[in-house]
Structure 1
Amino acid sequence: MYAFVPAALFLALFGVSAREDRRRFRNAIYLGLTCIFASIGLLFQVGHLPPGLAEAVILAIFVVPTVGTLALGVFLIGNGLTMVRKEGRRPGNLLSFAAGVAIFLLIAFVFVAADTGPPALDAVVAGVVLLVAYVSFLFVCFLAYAYLYGRIKVRGDVDYVVMLGSGLTGGDRVPPLLASRLRKGQAIHDAQIARGGRAPLMLASGGKGTDEKVAEARAMADWLMAEGGVPQEHLRLEDRSRTTEENLLFSRTIMEEADPSYRCVVVTNNFHAFRAAMMARKAGVNGQVLGSPTARYFWPSATIREFVAVFWEHKIANLSICGAIVALTVALALRIS
């Protein structure tokens, strides 16, 4: 049982950290390390397991990830083609396609280099695999915890439902992506009233872009009144912000000025919820972030963008680790060349 001590330690760290604040990225890391050390612990126990169960453990730890990686590459390429067909060839729409192609290029590089390359190239291959493994570990942690975070339910009454803005269509119309956030916000508003709670104020947050005729907050409020029948007295506007960080900071100021002990829920799209929650924590917003539905074909590329942003927000630690891997690879390659 000592083999499971590291997994138990990281699980305890995860529980304590998540209890303190669910919006921390380190929660995702603790959860990922728990799974890795639990898998290692299971491998140490394989010899003591019944034959059928032992094979199942080995299959789950080694074969499933391998097959899953190939399946993921195929899925991402297919999704990338769908994105291009439906959303155009903008660089951001090519992320899932590029990720899928990169998976197969990496596999081809490893096999070709391992068979034909000099010894120094073996060190390079090992370094590349280690670098990819580190980034992949972070991505899987992000993905798994973002999924768990997205299962959060609103408990008790809130004073505000903050809805983060996005770009308008034609300069003054709410697009489907933003409408999804507004529907989610109204659902929270209506559910609180239905269970006998006080009506929370709906705070539409978004300023006026250079290509927009009105502030996003104004268009959002008009949509809620026209499409959702929300009373005007239940609406508040934050119409100065240009970024998500400003959405949260300016909204926090409005809420604190009205009630320093406010409690809120922030609404964005599901692919953006965990990163927005991290930003909300940094901005000092007292509330969790909930996600609204997004078109399935849009989700993979959007999630990759979110991960890249989170990776770069922790660039000092991540680039230091990546730099250490590269330095170790170069030193090893030079030594054996």
Structure 2
Amino acid sequence: MPVTALLPVAVFLVSFWLDPRKVRTGLYLLFALFWLVLVVAGGLTGWASSLDPLAGAIVLLVLIGLGLATVVGFAAFLIAAGVTVVRREGFALSRLLGIVAGLALLAYCGLAVAVVYTDSVGLFTWLLLLGLPAAYLGFAFTSFLLYGSLYPAVMARRGGSVEAVVVLGSGLIDGRVPPLLASRLQRGRQVFERLAEHGTPARVLVTSGGRGPDEPVAEADAMAAYLIEDGVPPEVVLVENESTNTDENLGNTAALLASRGITGPIAVVTSDFHAFRAALLMRRHGLAGYSVGAPTAPYYWPSAVIREFFAVLRDHFWVNVVLAGLSVTPFVVAVLGMVGGVQR
């Protein structure tokens, strides 16, 4: 393997070491993996071709087939998970994201197969035009998916000492802590106790979350009661009950901690699908530390991850507007050209 094949890996490792809470670190990771796959696939195909040209062609077709099967399998998983979450949680537009994404993937794969079988130049042109925005979204989402899973897993094992553990709230059900929020609280307690066992105890365990319009109590108050009932000493539990979103969770908690003389690193605990975005917002607020993810029901995870992905795109609005605009420009030009041709 040439040394140049390892350069993208080195770039990713340096970026992760400097500050892992960056979107571009995830892009570096995916590019490094993509580059390594190309190098290995090219080497394998070249080696097989040196033995027999037909063998090289077979190896190439097998690799393409594996890639297509992976995409189709992932699309089927998104659709199945989306159907399950709608059946269990009820209908909502946000819960259709997995189904829509899966169907879009299958449609694009179907177009690619149609191009191969029909040898149509027109279909091939549309495949390329649609491929630009699809590649942009696909690369961005895959990097978010991979790195958004890797980051909290690494931090759960390698995160350093902190002065406070902060558990972010989510919705209550009839004023009680539901399974999703209970998972966050249990993970927060685990992090708090692990730090104490390692001789670097955090000073406080913070619950953060305000009161929704349909909630009888603030999320943070219900969370604190849950922890205390579960055996956490009341004197270490600190409540921040004014926040309405993650941005406010972090800002209000930072102010509350500062008022208690706590200004060092913190560990933010949230659901696994939300952990990386929470880390990005921590960096935006200038908060030292890291985020840790709590496990989520498998059927709920795909739609939640897609929702978080679009939230990250929104958080980096203008960059994505420019890049998305550039990716769809050839498609728009082609459509306008067709419309103009029909009118003439």
Q: TM-score range by the shorter chain?
A: 0.7 to 0.9
Moved more, 308-317 or 67-76: 308-317
**Could you tell me which of 298, 309, 312 is aligned with 1:310?**
312
Please state if 1:79 is matched with 2:77. no
Deviations 1:111-132 (A, max 9, x none): 4577779855543331102221
What is the distance in 1 between the residues matched to 2:58 and 2:22? 34
SS of the counterpart of 2:299? helix
**Could you tell me which of 146, 149, 152 is aligned with 1:150?**
152
Deviation at 1:162, TM superposition (A): 0.2
One-letter amino acid of the structure 1 residue matched with residue 108 of structure 2: L
Cα RMSD (Å) of the superposition? 2.8
SS of the counterpart of 1:296? coil
Change (3 A) 1:249 1:272: same
State percent identity of aligned pairs.
36
Moved more, 264-273 or 203-212: 203-212
What is the distance in 2 between the residues matched to 1:303 and 1:330? 29
1:287 aligned residue? 289
**Could you tell me which of 265, 273, 276 is aligned with 1:274?**
276
1:217 aligned residue? 220
Q: Please, what TM-score do these two structures have when normalized by structure 2? A: 0.86
Change (3 A) 1:194 1:260: closer
What is the distance in 2 between the residues matched to 1:213 and 1:332? 55
TM alignment of 1:121-270, pairs within 5 A? 122-151=124-153, 152=155, 153-170=157-174, 172-198=175-201, 200-226=203-229, 228-259=230-261, 261-270=263-272
8 Å Cα contact 1:17-1:27 kept in structure 2: yes
1:30 aligned residue? 28
Deviation at 1:69, TM superposition (A): 1.1
Deviation at 1:142, TM superposition (A): 0.9
What is the distance in 1 between the residues matched to 2:298 and 2:107? 26
The alignment of Structure 1 onto Structure 2 pairs a total of residues equal to 332
Moved more, 149-158 or 86-95: 149-158
One-letter amino acid of the structure 2 residue matched with residue 146 of structure 1: G
What is the distance in 2 between the residues matched to 1:278 and 1:57? 41
What is the distance in 1 between the residues matched to 2:159 and 2:15? 20
8 Å Cα contact 1:123-1:329 kept in structure 2: no
One-letter amino acid of the structure 2 residue matched with residue 39 of structure 1: V
What is the distance in 1 between the residues matched to 2:44 and 2:113? 29
**Could you tell me which of 38, 46, 49 is aligned with 2:47?**
49
Deviations 1:252-271 (A, max 9, x none): 11223333541211000111
Change (3 A) 1:331 1:109: same
SS of the counterpart of 2:216? coil
Moved more, 208-217 or 150-159: 150-159
What is the distance in 1 between the residues matched to 2:84 and 2:149? 23
Unaligned ranges ≥5, structure 1: none
SS of the counterpart of 2:166? strand
1:68 aligned residue? 70
Change (3 A) 1:311 1:155: closer
One-letter amino acid of the structure 1 residue matched with residue 190 of structure 2: A
Unaligned ranges ≥5, structure 2: none
One-letter amino acid of the structure 2 residue matched with residue 225 of structure 1: I
What is the distance in 2 between the residues matched to 1:252 and 1:198? 19
What is the distance in 2 between the residues matched to 1:68 and 1:41? 19
8 Å Cα contact 2:45-2:60 kept in structure 1: no
Deviation at 1:163, TM superposition (A): 0.4
SS of the counterpart of 2:15? helix
Q: Please, what TM-score do these two structures have when normalized by structure 1? A: 0.88
Moved more, 284-293 or 309-318: 309-318
What is the distance in 1 between the residues matched to 2:220 and 2:271? 16
One-letter amino acid of the structure 2 residue matched with residue 191 of structure 1: R
What is the distance in 2 between the residues matched to 1:173 and 1:299? 22
What is the distance in 2 between the residues matched to 1:60 and 1:15? 31
1:325 aligned residue? 327
One-letter amino acid of the structure 1 residue matched with residue 150 of structure 2: L
8 Å Cα contact 2:68-2:109 kept in structure 1: no
2:6 aligned residue? 8
